Structure 1
Amino acid sequence: MSHDYKFEGWLGKDKESAKGNMVWGEFPHVKPFEETDVDIQITHCGICGSDVHTLSSGWGPTTYPCCVGHEIIGKAVRVGSKVEKGIKVDDRVGVGAQNSSCLKPDCAECSDKLENYCQHIVTTFGDKYPDGSITYGGYGDYHRCPSHFVFKIPGGIASEDAAPMLYGGVTLYSPLVVNGCGPGKKVGIVGVGGLGHFGVLFAKALGADKVVGISRSNAKRDDVLKLGADEYIATSDDKDWATHHARSLDLIISTVSSPGMPLMEYLQLLKVKGTFIQVGAPEDMLPQFSAFAFIAKGVKMGGSMIGSPAQIEAMLKLADERKIKPWINTYPMKDANQAIKDFNDGKPRFRITLVNEKHL
């Protein structure tokens, strides 16, 4: 295939782009191709809350113009001579939220297969490589990425389903696995939306004895039970929910990114020696809580960020073997602005995947 294709896509020019005001354009500072790289002709890209936080400069100043999207699926169209994993031209591949890390032997994180925690991480969009070139995400036609962070997609997973697994899926899969989700465990998922619904799916697939969906209202109860949850707690509608379900869960994964979340009540749900893991990233501070909420029961609190390449590969293998099916709404790539508006309005159940129809 000729390599004269253009790297272009939906660009955010300012904070207003987060409201569905992106414009199509060429990427100005694409990374120069190296022999360890793969160029991907994008067919699908998931939409994530991180995209909106970046477009709006919610987590800090964004370098505009930026093209967001870090749940990328497509066809390998250019493959360097030193790529990893046996990737070949025409393979169906994907990229998640990470494009690079230092990969040096003396890096404690990279050498321990925790590349997602490397202090030299380069994220998939709105970030800089050491040479000053910029990362541009998947709301576009092509993406360039070092092969260490490119993954072959198992044949049994549809592209529209695989895309959101590469960030949304692994963001829940990783803390579930690391914190012992499996037979004998009772797990709660706080915030059953685009991220949280993956928590229900993967906790069940990993064999948890009980999975409890936790959300503010009863609006999602039926859908969450259809996903496979054994119970559902509506924190605004169920009377005395924290007392009624006290000391019932071994592990809670929180996807909620609200500084007003009832954190003290969530901690009340944990058993002695239980674990609370935060993956949702608020633009503001987490709510205050008393130290006795975790001291009195020996509770552990922690966080988790995306997942390592090894965890992504293990997640894809499990999803293929167990036929895990996320709930996906698809939009044409040309309608990305409308998709962002609908995402902001909370319309999807539970995830949106953009489809680049000209590349199908």
Structure 2
Amino acid sequence: MSSAPKQRKFEGWAAMDSNAIKGEMKWTEYRPKEFFDDDVELEIQYCGICGSDLHTMSDGWGSTKGMYPQVVGHEIVGKVVRVGKDVKHLKEGDIAGVGAQCDSCMECVNCKNGEENYCSKGQTGTYCGKFRRTAKGSKSYGGYANYWRGPAHFTIPIPDNLDPAEAAPMMCGGVTVYTPLKQYGAGTTAKSVGVVGLGGLGHFAVLFATAMGADVTAITHSHKKTEDAKKLGAKQVIVTGDDIKAAFKGYRRSLDLIIVSSNAPNMPFNAYLSLLRPHGHLVIVGAPEEGTIPNVSPFNLIGSNVHISGSAIGSVKGIAECLKFAGDHNIKAWVKRYTMKDANEAVEAA
């Protein structure tokens, strides 16, 4: 274990209870995990606001009980200010980022295959988690803060051709849609891609799928999103409104892949499945606080040999690939910048 060359005061915007979602976070000093030889520290420059942050602060997923006070934020970019002696891929002064996961067992078959996000022993979330590999039992704290400390393996250099502010939301939101788009062949075997929802995840899905060469159809509940969808690169926009049957008329079997980025409860999955060509895939990446896949008819699966699946965040390798792809294709995230002192205002506006 390495001794600290400099003692830093770790402070952040903490959710003290579920009222934090109303803009009632408190600026609080906290104690991070103990520093080990495979750890790094970042001086935080940017942290995206992810839907997961809001669900966690409000305890909407039921995972926060007993974990308050909680500093959330897992789309972190900052300057490396401390490096453990076992860390080889980062040095002080580098700009690096951390996504939704900050540790895993590093020993199971999934970790060894570069799929740490599916660790058989369970991943450690960048916040609201407990470390098990080192600093056992210590709580993980996120990026609405001045510094972040954690395992360097999950800390990824930011390419020079990416704006760090735009790279931050790619650490979770970006890679969460990049991974299934790549896995299911967007632009190659999946020529036509549908994206349900045009929030943080959905806007990345349209940007990445378009850059991959796919013909993108945006599916949104509101006419207000039509122009944004087209600016992002969507060729078609389906506005479902209150009559989804009428909205989908003429689009049956028109898509090879659908990314469901919305976290709305009780979505019309049978209607979405009708849009898929035979052998198509519907991939769920948005998780509602309540609701399931309601009454999906098996005949809608059997009749077209279509598939429903899910995808969780991204691996370390996947995040690095996502960032490189974004830089190489000049992908610009749509971000609104707030100072850290205005974090409560930013959360209320999210």
Q: TM-score category by the smaller chain?
A: over 0.9
Corresponding letter in the other structure for 2:222: S
Task: Quote how far apart the aligned CAs of 1:340 are.
Answer: 0.6
Corresponding letter in the other structure for 1:20: G
Q: Per the alignment, in what secondary structure is the counterpart of residue 136 of structure 1? A: coil
Match of 2:57 in 1: 55
Corresponding letter in the other structure for 2:346: A
- Residues 327-348 of structure 1, C-alpha deviation per residue, up to 9 Å, x if partnerless? 11011110000111111xxxxx
Corresponding letter in the other structure for 2:23: G
Task: Quote how far apart the aligned CAs of 1:120 are.
Answer: 2.7
Unaligned runs of 5+ in 2: none
Write out aligned runs for 1:133-148 (5 A). Answer: 133-148=138-153
Matching of residue 13 in structure 1 with residue 20 in structure 2: no
Question: Does the 8 Å contact 1:218/1:237 carry over to 2?
Answer: no
Write out aligned runs for 1:288-307 (5 A). Answer: 288-307=295-314
Task: Quote how far apart the aligned CAs of 1:2 are.
Answer: 5.6
Q: Per the alignment, in what secondary structure is the counterpart of residue 274 of structure 1? A: strand
- Residues 134-186 of structure 1, C-alpha deviation per residue, up to 9 Å, x if partnerless? 11000000001211100100111111100000000000000101111123510
Matches of 2:19 and 2:222 in 1, distance apart? 30
Q: Of residues 246, 267, 272 in structure 2, which corresponds to 1:240?
A: 246
Question: Does the 8 Å contact 2:280/2:305 carry over to 1?
Answer: yes
Greater length-normalized contact order (CA 8 Å, ≥ 6 residues apart): 1
Matching of residue 182 in structure 1 with residue 184 in structure 2: no
Match of 1:357 in 2: none
Match of 2:118 in 1: 117
- Residues 184-231 of structure 1, C-alpha deviation per residue, up to 9 Å, x if partnerless? 5100010011110000011011121x1111110111101110111111
Matches of 2:165 and 2:71 in 1, distance apart? 19
Task: Quote how far apart the aligned CAs of 1:308 are.
Answer: 0.5
Unaligned runs of 5+ in 1: 344-360
- How many aligned residue pairs are there? 338
Task: Quote how far apart the aligned CAs of 1:127 are.
Answer: 0.5
Matches of 1:91 and 1:109 in 2, distance apart? 29
Match of 2:82 in 1: 78
Matches of 1:186 and 1:61 in 2, distance apart? 37
Match of 1:103 in 2: 106
Match of 2:291 in 1: 285
Matches of 1:262 and 1:269 in 2, distance apart? 12
Match of 2:39 in 1: 37
What fraction of aligned residue pairs are identical, expressed as a percent? 48
Question: Does the 8 Å contact 2:266/2:291 carry over to 1?
Answer: no
Question: Does the 8 Å contact 2:39/2:151 carry over to 1?
Answer: yes
Match of 2:174 in 1: 169
- Residues 96-141 of structure 1, C-alpha deviation per residue, up to 9 Å, x if partnerless? 001001111xx12111111101033101001101211011000000
- Residues 279-305 of structure 1, C-alpha deviation per residue, up to 9 Å, x if partnerless? 001111222221111111000110000
Matches of 1:166 and 1:326 in 2, distance apart? 12
Q: Per the alignment, in what secondary structure is the counterpart of residue 41 of structure 1? A: strand
TM-score, structure 1 as length reference: 0.92
Runs of 4+ in 1 over 6 A off after TM superposition: none
Corresponding letter in the other structure for 2:304: K
Corresponding letter in the other structure for 1:289: V
Corresponding letter in the other structure for 1:273: H
Task: Quote how far apart the aligned CAs of 1:70 are.
Answer: 0.2
Do the aligned partners of residues 111 and 2 (structure 1) sit closer, same or farther apart at CA in structure 2, a change above 3 Å counting?
A: closer
Q: Per the alignment, in what secondary structure is the counterpart of residue 328 of structure 1? A: coil
Question: Does the 8 Å contact 2:219/2:238 carry over to 1?
Answer: yes
Match of 2:93 in 1: 90
Task: Quote how far apart the aligned CAs of 1:243 are.
Answer: 2.8
Matching of residue 230 in structure 1 with residue 229 in structure 2: no
Match of 1:149 in 2: 154
Task: Quote how far apart the aligned CAs of 1:273 are.
Answer: 0.9
- Residues 52-87 of structure 1, C-alpha deviation per residue, up to 9 Å, x if partnerless? 100011111411000000000000000011014x20
Matches of 1:249 and 1:2 in 2, distance apart? 56
Match of 2:72 in 1: 68
Matches of 1:252 and 1:126 in 2, distance apart? 30
TM-score, structure 2 as length reference: 0.94
Q: Per the alignment, in what secondary structure is the counterpart of residue 185 of structure 2? A: coil
Question: Does the 8 Å contact 1:189/1:214 carry over to 2?
Answer: yes
Corresponding letter in the other structure for 1:48: C
Question: Does the 8 Å contact 2:199/2:262 carry over to 1?
Answer: no
